[in-house]
Structures are given as C-alpha cells and as structure tokens.
Structure 1
Amino acid sequence: MPNPSGGPAAAAPVPASPVPSSRPPESRVPEAVHRRRWAILGVLMLSLLIVVLDNSILNVAVRTIASPAPTGIGATQSELEWAINSYTLVFAGLLFTSGLLGDRIGRKKVLLFGIAVFGLGSALAAMSGSPGELIAYRALMGFGAAFVMPATLSVLMNVFERDEQPKAIGIWAGSVGLGIAIGPITGGVLLEHFWWGSIFLVNVPVAIVALIAMVLLVPDSRDPAPGRLDPLGVLLSIVGLVLLVYGIIRGGELADFTGAGVLVPVLGGLAVLALFVWHEKRSDHPALDVSYFRKPAFSAAVAAIALVFFALMGVTFFSAFYLQSVRGYSALQSGLLILPLAAAQMVFAPRARLVVDRFGARAVCTAGLLLVGAGLAAFGFFDETTPVWVLCVVFFVQGTGMAHIMPPVTVAIMQALPREKAGSGSAINNTFRQVGGALGVAVLGSVLSATYRSGIDGHLDGVPAAARDAAGESIEATLGAAARLAPEAGRPLIGAAYEAFLDAMHVTAFASAGIAAIGAVVVAVFLPGRPPAPGNAADAAEAGDPAARGSDPRPEQAGAARG
C-alpha cells in the first residue's frame, strides 16, 4: 500500500521486542527530562517553599507586628487580617490568568517571573514603615506568588508520567509541611535577634537560589492550542472577593453584621461573583471553565480543599495569639510547638497514595477531614493551663489529617484534566485553596473579634473613653491598654482579656470544626471509593473513567509536554 506521504510502501511491521522497558509504552516525557525529574521536583519544592514559608512566618509574627514602634508597626487586628488577605486576594484573583498564561507562553517563563516579583515584594515589605505599606507590598508578593504556585504543579504534571504523578504530588504536598515547620522556627529566630522586617527579607536569598536552579534544570512546556485570556473574568473575581471579604472583616471590627457598611460590600461582592460565574459560563475563552465542575468527584475535591483551608487558616490565625498572648510563649517557642503538625505532613503526605490505593480516596479524605475537625474542636477546650504535650498531640493530629487530604484531592483535580491544561487545573486547585483560606481568616477572624469585643466591653470602664473603642478590638490592644493603667486597674483587665479571648477562641474553634465536618460529608458522598480491581480496569476505562486509564484523557495531544 502506498505511503500517504508519497514515499515508498511501508515495510511489514516487525513484532515488538520482548525485552521489558523501564518506561511505560505511552511515555510522553522526553528522556532527558525524565532522567532529571526528581531534581526538577526539588526545584519546584524550593519555589513552593518560599511561598508557604512566608505565610507561616507571618503567622508567628502577627503579635510582634501588632506591637507599637519600634518593636512593630502598631498594626490593628483588622490591618493584620488585611496584611494576610491583601496577599491572598491578589493571589487568588490572578490565579486564573497566571494558569492560562503559563499554558499559553510557557510555564517556566511564568515561574521565573513570579519568583522575581515575589522576591522584590519581599524586600519592599521588609522595609515597610506603616501597616498601609505592609498591606500594599504584601499584595505585590501575592501578585508574584500567583505566578509561582500553579506553575510548580503544572510543570510537575508535565515532567512525570501518569503512574508517578500521585507519588510526586504527595512529595510536593509534603513540602507544604516543610514550609510550615521551617517558617515559624525561622521567624522565631529572626524575631528574637533582628527587627520584624527580617521575616520578609529572608525570602530574597531563597528566591535568588530558586531562580538560578530553575534556569539550569526546569524544562519549559505549554499548551499547543491555548485559549485567549479573560481580563473581564479576572477583574470580576478580584472585585467580588475584595468586596465580600472587606464586608466580613468590617463586620468583625464593628461586632455588627447588620449595618449598611457591612451589608453593602457583602451583598455587592456576592452579586459580582454571581456575575463572574454567569460570564464564565457564556464566554468562549473563560478564565475558569465551569464545565469541569459537572463531574461530582472533581467538585467534591475542590470543595474539600476550600473547606479544610477555610477551617484551618482561621484557627492558625488565632492560635498565634493564644500561644503568645495568653500562654506567654515567644515567637520561637510558638514555632517549635507547630513542629508536630509539620512533621506529620512531611511523613504522611508522600505516602498518602499507598493508603488511597488500599482504601480509596473517599475513605481516606473523609478520615482526614474528621481528624482535622477533631484537632480544631480540641481548641474549644484549651485554657491557660493546658499541658504542652496536649498541644503537640493536637497539632500532630491536624497534620496527619491534612497529609491525607491534600495529595488525594490534588491528584483528583489534576488528573481530571488533560496534561495540556495543567495550568488551568493547578489554578483551580490553588484558587479554591487560597480563597478558602482567605475567607477562613476573614469569617473566623470576624467571629473571634466580635465575640471577644462582646466579652471585654464590660471591663473597659477604667480605660480612657477616647481609647476604649480601640482597646476592645483585640487581646493585644487590651493588654496594651492595661499596661498603661495603674497596677490595681491593669491586673483585673488582663485577667478579663484572657477570659474573653479564651471564650472567643472556643466559639471560633467549634465553628471551624463544624466547617471541617461539612467537608467530610461532602467527600464521603461525592468522592470515588476504592479503585477498580485490575481485572475491571479495562471496563472502567471503557466506561469513561479517566482515573482507570493509563494515559491522559486526551492522548491525541501527545506533544504538549515537551520542553
């Protein structure tokens, strides 16, 4: 038969050699990239590390930053929340665009750009002279991070074959635990020996090392058929999230969620986000392809990510005040107490795939969320004398739960999409994770603030009237006001501040545990159970289950991974 290209007839096919290959027959990763894939993963983990490191350092530094100059910059609780949320909101709002941009122009280019901007923002944040400057430079850091985190995961999906992706994602997720461990300890050491800005300056040398390693090791990859950008969608998402979270934070400040100053931004934010969804459904080049959410397993995995970070980030925010303001631990000691949480993630996250293989994603993620919920609920029973070993056990339980949630749901999200759309999948994964965390800080921070204010209001009579409102905003503000009073008036106020904060922490902890329980119900209902037996794998693949196939859902685009 003639060759379609016009050349001579093709030779008769030669039987395949029986010699086994070390690579799967459907290999789509170039051999040179395959050989250095674990070194590439190390570079990706370093890039992810500085993003996680920054947030975990900030969590132990909130008390220092809230202190008056020269120790800190006198940030209020609302300003501290905005120092966290300005980063997260810019990050989440730009993830759609950064993921699409990586798929379009190359993930390596996007990763290099993001690290450079993040390093610059870190240097500027270190030099902030006011809470307003810190919030602005944190937003710049969020801008850079938006181009880093999705690119790390999308590069990972393009340098590992499908059968190794769960293991690689588990190690990738374990690096989050490493960041949680290094961050607070590094922050504590820096705060004990240097000024508060050093917690941001430490990112700069790490960013430089990551840039050099990326240039030398990381291959580039892109989508051969990318779509157009969606600036309107990005704008709508940013405006909607900012309005919503601003209203929630404002409600916590005022201890009143019914005023116009709260309801207008909250309802406006919800309306803009609804318009965003409407626009995305009708756009031919959406920033967020809502058709992905028609798959129950995909939607459940996304919901699990959002809910667990909603619950966990809110508790992480107030636990720093509990450990340092109520228990009197230093920033370094607080960081050391979080080590069990980080150690559990580092140990169990890379091995989570083995548990999933045996019991299925549904059982593993449900159990993980229940463990996280139990750890959060435990904060509802903590007081000024809770033994340190109890804190360590609770943090270890939380870390174990997280280690059995993040890898399986990330695998479920990423493997539901074609490899060529890895940037989009990573953007969805990280967007809901960060939005969940931002709303957790805002909502649970507001619950904490409102409950604390209602508990301390009756004890502020001794504080000058002009300073009374500010003194009731947070435990740090109350303790600062008590320090300026005479000892006979200050000591009772300190005791009242501890009691009001613990009551507020208990309410917030139980609310967080309830959110985690909702997440457990969602994954128990919608995530898939145990994987099919080997004999039934072909039937599952024939039925359209991409998880049962040995290759990507769209094998016709076989050249996209080449860099």
Structure 2
Amino acid sequence: MATVTQADETRRDARRWWALGALVASMLTLGFDMTILNVALPTMASELGATTGQQQWLADAYVVVFAALMLPAGLLGDRFGRRRMLIAGLGVFLVGSLVGALATDVSWVVAARAFMGIGGALITPLALSVLPSLFGPDERTKAVGIISAASALGMPLGPIIGGWLLDHFWWGSVFLVNVPMAALGIAACVLLLPETADPSSPEVDALSTALTATGLGALIYAIIEAPSRGWTDPLVLAVFGAATVLITALVVRERKVERPMLDMTLLAHRGFLFNTLAATLVMFVLSGLLFVLPPYLQAVLGNDALGTGVRLLPMMGGLMVAARGAQPVVARFGPRAVVSAGLVVLAFAALLGSRTTVDSGYGFTALWLAITGFGFGFSVVPAMDGALGTLPGDRAGSGSGLLMTLRQVGAAIGIALLGSLLAGTFRDRLDVTGLPAKAADAAGDSVVAAHIVAGKAHSAHLAASANGAYVHGMGVVLLVCGIAALVAALLAGALLPGTRAAEAAKGTPDMAAPAADARQ
C-alpha cells in the first residue's frame, strides 16, 4: 500500500511542477504586458495619431476592466471550475491580443485592451487559487513565490521585449507576442491542470459587478477628459456625479448583502486598511510614473524604443533588489518602520526627479530611477504582507481579492490623474506662436505630436519648446507624487500597527473573525 502511494505521489510531483510551469508562463505574459505598452505608446502616438488622452485610454482600458472584474472572475472559477475559467481567460487574452495586433484605428486598440482586461481578470486570481490543489502546505509557499517572481520579472522584461520588437517590427508586434504565450498556457492547462471548484462560494453578483465597472469607468473617463474639456465642463461634472452615485451605491449594496462579493468589513481591520492604502498609493505612483517616463526618454532624450526599455532598468532593478531584501529588514525593524521608510525614500526620489531639466541627461535620471525602485520595493512588499497578515484565516481569499482590486484601482487612477495633469501642463506651457490653428491644436496633443508638427514646419523652436514643456509637466507630476508619498509616509508611521501588534495579529488570526462576523 505504501509503495502504491509513493508511486502515485511521484507521478503527481512530475505533473504538478509542469503545471506550475504553465501558470508561470501565464503570469509572465501578464507581467510584461503591464509594462510593454508603455514603451510602445510614443510609437503608437506617432503612427496612429493618438492624443495624450487616447494614450491614457490605451493604458487604462485594460486596468479598469481588470480591476472591475477580478473579484467576480475569481467567484466564477470557484463555482464553475477554476481550470475551465483559466482556459477561458487565456483564450480571451489571446483573441484580444490578435485584435490589437491587427487594428488600424486607436478606438479598436482601446477595445482590444479592454477585452484583454477580461482575460487578465480571469487569469490572475485563478492562477493562484489552483495552487492548493497542486501543492501541500509545505510546498505552497515556494510555488506562490515562483509565480510572484514570474509576475515581477515580467515588469522589467516588458520594456526590453517591447523595445526590441518595435525596433524590428511594427507596433502591433507588442500585442502579437502574447499569442504564442497564451496558446502555450491553454495547452498546458488542458493537459496538466486538474479541475477544482467550490460550489459553496458566493454567487457572482451581476449588479455589484455592473456598479463596479460603470463607476470606475465613469471616474476614469471624467479624469481623462477634464484637461481638454475643462474641470467645470457640464459633461465632466455630470460624469463625476454619476461615478460618485454608482460607487456609493456599490458600497451600500455590498454592506447590506449577506455574502458580499466585495467584503467592505475587512477595512475595519486597522492593519489591513492602512497597509492596503499604502500599497494602493505605491501603485498609483508607479503606474503614473511608467506612463510619463517613456515619452521623456524617447521623444525628449532621443532614444529608440529598445534604448527606452533598457533605460527603465535602474528602476526595475532597484524594485526587485528591494523586494528581495524587504523580508529580513522587516524582521529586524518591523513593518511599520520599513513601510514608512520606503515611502520616505520614494518621496525623496520623486522630489529629486522633479528637478530634472532638458539638459540633465540620462545619468541624473538613472540615479533617481534607481532610488525610486528601492522606495517602491521597501514600501509595497511589506505593505502587502502586512495587509494579508492581519486577516483571519477564513477571509484570506476575500481579503487578497479586495487588496488586488484596490491596487488596480490605484493604478488606473494614477494613469488617469497624473496623465491628465501632465497633458494640461504640457499644453499650457507649449509655445505655438505663429502656427496655424489646426497645427497648434495638433502639437498640443502630446510631445510626440509636437515633434511631428515641428518636423513638418521645420521649426527648431517648436521642438525645443515641446521638450521644455514636457519636462516641466513631468516635473510637476513627480512633485505631486513626492508630496503624496511623504504624506503617506507620515500617515503610515502614525497609524500602522506597531511590531508587537502585527505579531499578535499574525499569531492569533482567528481572533478578529468573531468581531468581523458580528459586523456582518
């Protein structure tokens, strides 16, 4: 009997590590897809004529849909089969990538990105939720670490792969590269993953899902349109009002239902709330920064797409080094001290970056980018650990889903708000004196568009003005990021639980459950 069990265990071993490889491929694809588009945006702005607002939608369409659908996607997998829904997510991602690669119009590319967001929302929670069926508790931590590393590794790979593809092929290749990866993931899931489900999980609430998607979509739309239409424009104000009503309705509904999809009572845990806010702010800054940096490196400093990707590596390198080193530092000094210090470093890097001028050169940029990466790593990793560590065991799933959703909301708002701030500042600063009205309007769309107009008009003055206006706008964005990070550091230092409180929460996770249940 023991021999049979051992043989079965051996066969399971071989299968589960191959299955983990399939999940790693899926997460790696999602990881570099998050950053690969940022390098492509200047090229797409040039070849498709995309304005800054349209570029914001190219980045945000994916993130908004991803954030809105992540929780219901996880519940769909629980009820109807995680492998089935994971395969469906990879299929949706593959089709969206094909549509994006073949599109010839900005609107179709935005639609393709939104469709890919549906696939990403299915893949991310389900790739993690199938791990318990593959690995025992002794190996699960290692498996989660491998998947997390794959997702993190995708971030620095994205700009490099994207830059190389754009130097050798057309812009659609940054979408097409997803197709073989997704196809490989589908084949591996079909052949290697066992089917698992949890029919007792809460049903997917269609109304809550609709409120989340429409509320977030309305908020992002208003923020992106405000710089061109004006913050007091009737349409912008109406959409802001609609977003407020929809998000309020979502919160009220989720607080009343017996088994909420978005468990708002988790925010009553002080450690979870403030660690989640810290992690969300970091995503706000990171996504906004990755949106404004590539045009500076490409249009202002004159690098090609591959050179732009490579020049983002100091930040990615700092992030990965700090992420690996965060755990022993937290063990020595406690999460509150490390999260606060990480946010202070992030604030310093952003304020240093706001001093960038047109003549600073890449050396100065590489310096504050590397410091930025360290700040990100030492703030976001312990903040996420601290948030999940305060949760009772029976709410780990819903808590991690809420944390990931809020992080994605932070990313979407970061791109929209900081991108809109950049667009408005650039347009106000750009000198279009002497240009025809149509050319002046086109030049104000983006720094890439201004360079195209300058080339056609043979105007060195317009090109120089565009560079100066963009660097000034980037400096304003970085200044806002620095102030926000500094305020967050002060709040984290004052409000996050101390080391002893955090250890007590981790040591007795179920003590919070009765109180939470009573609040429901």
- Work out the percentage of aligned pairs sharing the same amino acid: 37
Structure 2 partner of 1:463: 435
Structure 1 partner of 2:162: 187
1:151/1:426 contact within 8 Å kept? no
Write the distance in 1 (CA, Å) between the matches of 2:400 and 2:330.
21
Deviates more, 1:172-181 or 1:315-324: 172-181
> Structure 1 stretches of 5 or more lacking a match?
1-29, 555-563
Write the distance in 1 (CA, Å) between the matches of 2:494 and 2:375.
18
1:100/1:229 contact within 8 Å kept? yes
Letter in 2 for 1:390: F
1:162/1:551 contact within 8 Å kept? no
Q: Deviations over 1:223-259 (max 9, x none)?
A: 46311211111111111111111111111223x2122
Deviates more, 1:356-365 or 1:273-282: 356-365
| Pairwise CA distance, 1:153 | 3.2
1:303 to 252, 257, 277: 277
Write the distance in 1 (CA, Å) between the matches of 2:24 and 2:344.
28
TM-score (norm 1): 0.83
1:170/1:350 contact within 8 Å kept? no
Letter in 1 for 2:35: S
Equivalences for residues 48-447 of structure 1 within 5 A:
48-67=27-46, 72-156=47-131, 169=144, 171-223=146-198, 225-254=200-229, 256-417=230-391, 423-447=397-421
Write the distance in 1 (CA, Å) between the matches of 2:146 and 2:375.
16
Aligned residues: 505
| Pairwise CA distance, 1:90 | 1.0
Coordinate RMSD, CA, aligned? 2.8
Write the distance in 2 (CA, Å) between the matches of 1:79 and 1:99.
30
Write the distance in 2 (CA, Å) between the matches of 1:245 and 1:50.
25
1:45 aligns with 2:4: no
1:452 to 416, 420, 426: 426
1:250/1:262 contact within 8 Å kept? yes
SS at match of 2:435: coil
| Pairwise CA distance, 1:181 | 1.5
Write the distance in 1 (CA, Å) between the matches of 2:137 and 2:382.
14
| Pairwise CA distance, 1:385 | 2.8
Deviates more, 1:496-505 or 1:198-207: 496-505
Structure 1 partner of 2:5: none
Deviates more, 1:435-444 or 1:383-392: 383-392
Q: Deviations over 1:302-323 (max 9, x none)?
A: 2122111111111111101110
SS at match of 1:75: coil
Q: Residue 430 and residue 384 in structure 1: after superposition, are their counterparts in 2 closer, same or farther (change >3 A)?
A: same
Q: Deviations over 1:94-152 (max 9, x none)?
A: 11201222333333332222112111111111001100100111111001001111223
| Pairwise CA distance, 1:442 | 0.5
| Pairwise CA distance, 1:42 | 4.5
Q: Residue 160 and residue 96 in structure 1: after superposition, are their counterparts in 2 closer, same or farther (change >3 A)?
A: same
1:125/1:133 contact within 8 Å kept? yes
Q: Residue 321 and residue 343 in structure 1: after superposition, are their counterparts in 2 closer, same or farther (change >3 A)?
A: same
1:125/1:200 contact within 8 Å kept? yes
Q: Residue 353 and residue 516 in structure 1: after superposition, are their counterparts in 2 closer, same or farther (change >3 A)?
A: same
Q: Residue 373 and residue 155 in structure 1: after superposition, are their counterparts in 2 closer, same or farther (change >3 A)?
A: farther
1:523 to 492, 503, 516: 492
Structure 1 partner of 2:452: 480
2:50/2:106 contact within 8 Å kept? yes
Q: Residue 354 and residue 123 in structure 1: after superposition, are their counterparts in 2 closer, same or farther (change >3 A)?
A: same
| Pairwise CA distance, 1:447 | 0.6
Letter in 1 for 2:45: A
> Structure 2 stretches of 5 or more lacking a match?
1-8, 514-520
Q: Deviations over 1:3-52 (max 9, x none)?
A: xxxxxxxxxxxxxxxxxxxxxxxxxxx99878877665544332222112
Deviates more, 1:293-302 or 1:414-423: 414-423
SS at match of 1:405: helix
Q: Deviations over 1:66-112 (max 9, x none)?
A: 01xxxx22211111111111111111111120122233333333222
Write the distance in 1 (CA, Å) between the matches of 2:240 and 2:444.
24
Equivalences for residues 536-551 of structure 1 within 5 A:
540=504, 545=505, 547-549=506-508
| Pairwise CA distance, 1:517 | 2.3
Q: Residue 220 and residue 137 in structure 1: after superposition, are their counterparts in 2 closer, same or farther (change >3 A)?
A: same
Write the distance in 2 (CA, Å) between the matches of 1:529 and 1:161.
32
2:326/2:382 contact within 8 Å kept? yes
Write the distance in 2 (CA, Å) between the matches of 1:39 and 1:517.
44
1:174/1:346 contact within 8 Å kept? no
Q: Residue 88 and residue 391 in structure 1: after superposition, are their counterparts in 2 closer, same or farther (change >3 A)?
A: same
Write the distance in 2 (CA, Å) between the matches of 1:120 and 1:135.
14
Q: Residue 195 and residue 120 in structure 1: after superposition, are their counterparts in 2 closer, same or farther (change >3 A)?
A: same
1:66/1:476 contact within 8 Å kept? yes
Deviates more, 1:415-424 or 1:183-192: 415-424
Write the distance in 1 (CA, Å) between the matches of 2:140 and 2:323.
13
Letter in 2 for 1:212: A
Letter in 2 for 1:89: V
| Pairwise CA distance, 1:453 | 1.1
**Greater helix share, 1 or 2?**
2
Q: Deviations over 1:292-337 (max 9, x none)?
A: 1110111112212211111111111110111011111111001111
Q: Deviations over 1:375-434 (max 9, x none)?
A: 222220112232433333322222223223333333344455566655533321221111
Write the distance in 2 (CA, Å) between the matches of 1:167 and 1:413.
20
1:78/1:249 contact within 8 Å kept? yes
Write the distance in 1 (CA, Å) between the matches of 2:161 and 2:351.
28
1:174/1:345 contact within 8 Å kept? no
